[in-house]
Structure 1
């Protein structure tokens, strides 16, 4: 039993009857049509589709699957397997012939290679290529010595003086040009901060403070009460109109009351 102090107020009679009439006109025909369609679909599935599917499966198995399996078994037994045995016998004989030919060719190539190395390549390497390589090594060593000496002279006579001149120019530019410019920029920045940026920042901060005070006063004395009144009106509508209407609709449709 519910507590009398927390019992919900009764639904108005003038709102209950129209909702019941609408539920009787709309819900009952829809429910009747839905039940009829459900029974029809179930009957068609049980008495038409299921027997038809079973008959179709039996016909496919009898007319297609079983003859196809028998035909495949006969083809494998009397055509594929005999042909495979014949091809395997022929392949074995051909492999014996090819192996003999490849052995002879490899042996002939080995003999030719040994003859070429012994009578052509080895003498060519020993009496031609090796002397040419030794001569090229001597020439390259002499060229390397000359090139290293020339690079050393260029480094001492050209690159070192250029580097020293660049270093002196950098030192002079830093001491006589960049340092005075840096001091001047620092003085200008300090003066700009003290005379321009700091007063402007203080003025902006004061303006923001005054604007915040004005907005706070406006909210407290104008917008705040308006929003509070709108919220109170919304809560009253939900408690006095929407909730009773929702309970009436649930009672008319036979639904359990919301918690």
Structure 2
């Protein structure tokens, strides 16, 4: 390979030459202050992070060991106990409510109030209205119409109507001549011209020619003065308040806040690594100091001792207890049989009855032998019984 391959071509200055996390405006002072700040923040954040990790581990253990089983138990109790009990209570409450407050009133309304009101009040009133009041009203109406309304109508149409038309026309004419036409003429020819040309026209001319230009000038003057004052106030506020605040925020607060936030983030991550390392160390120490000896003790001491106790003590004791229980049960059954036989004998002796059948001794079955010619005994002291095959028995 030639030497040219090892030479580096000159690179123009750019962003690739700037250090990581570089921001314009940072100098040596910021870099020198950053490391002590991060160390101090790490010393402050490390206990918090370790306590936080410990709380997280404890919370997960409590959630896994206590909260999950408790939640399942509460869910089971709610589903299998509280819900059926609540449903049964609600059904019983609804049934009792209906039985006490609904059904009696429904029955009272249906079978007492409605029949009594219907057949005791409504039906008689309807019969009285239809059979008595309606014919009586029709008769009275016809009587009044024929005896009173018909003569009055004839008098009104034949006498009062012609006389009333003339009187009405004269009254209207006199009323208008005395109370309407004079006032209309006064309003039209006196009041309206005087008010229009003596008051309204001068006022309109004064408003248009004097007041409107004067108002426009005053408004322009006030708006100009207000704009000047507002511009001066804005300039003063920007110059005396906003600019210093922006400068302080940009050159002091923002860098300090950014450094503090970055220091907290870095310290939190480093504290997490340290906390995990401490946790692993504690876990290793706990396993080697407690878990491993306990495991060795359980595997090499407790397990063999438990096997010995199980095989040498527990199983024989259990077998002896079972045999003792069986023997005691047999003895109790035999004693019970003896007591029942004695009770029957005593009852028979007091009351009387057929004699008890004598017990027949069962035939002593001889021991089996292989054949007629072979007399080998299988049971000591017992005569052998001839061996007969099944097809010979049949």
TM band (smaller chain): 0.5 to 0.7
Following superposition, the deviation at residue 227 of structure 1 comes to: 4.2
Give the structure 2 partner of residue 152 of structure 1: 161
Following superposition, the deviation at residue 180 of structure 1 comes to: 1.4
CA RMSD of aligned residues (A): 4.6
Larger relative contact order (CA 8 Å, sep ≥ 6): 1
Equivalent of 2:61, from 43, 64, 71? 43
Aligned residues: 199
Give the structure 1 partner of residue 146 of structure 2: 138
Gaps of 5+ in 1: 70-115
Following superposition, the deviation at residue 41 of structure 1 comes to: 2.9
Give the structure 2 partner of residue 248 of structure 1: 259
Equivalent of 2:239, from 194, 210, 229? 229
- Cα distance between partner residues in 1 of 2:145 and 2:172: 36
> Does the Cα contact within 8 Å between 1:23 and 1:252 map onto a contact in 2?
yes
Give the structure 1 partner of residue 217 of structure 2: 206
Give the structure 1 partner of residue 184 of structure 2: 174
Following superposition, the deviation at residue 149 of structure 1 comes to: 5.9
- Cα distance between partner residues in 1 of 2:77 and 2:234: 80
SS at match of 2:180: helix
SS at match of 2:26: coil
Given the two structures, how large is their TM-score scaled by the length of structure 1? 0.54
Following superposition, the deviation at residue 248 of structure 1 comes to: 0.8
Following superposition, the deviation at residue 213 of structure 1 comes to: 4.0
Gaps of 5+ in 2: 1-13, 89-126, 267-394
SS at match of 1:182: helix
- Cα distance between partner residues in 2 of 1:213 and 1:58: 80
Following superposition, the deviation at residue 189 of structure 1 comes to: 1.7
> Does the Cα contact within 8 Å between 1:15 and 1:248 map onto a contact in 2?
no
Alignment of 1:1-259 (within 5 A): 2=15, 7-10=23-26, 12-13=30-31, 15-17=33-35, 19-21=37-39, 23-54=41-72, 57=76, 61=80, 134-139=142-147, 140-147=149-156, 152=161, 155-168=164-177, 169-187=179-197, 188-195=199-206, 198-216=209-227, 222-223=232-233, 225-230=235-240, 231-254=242-265
Give deviations 1:192-233, integer Å, cap 9, x for gaps: 33346742332332233334444455566x445434524443
- Cα distance between partner residues in 2 of 1:226 and 1:216: 14
Give deviations 1:33-71, integer Å, cap 9, x for gaps: 333333323322321233345456379959x969xx9xx
- Cα distance between partner residues in 2 of 1:148 and 1:2: 117
Higher helix share: 1
- Cα distance between partner residues in 1 of 2:253 and 2:145: 106
Following superposition, the deviation at residue 242 of structure 1 comes to: 2.8
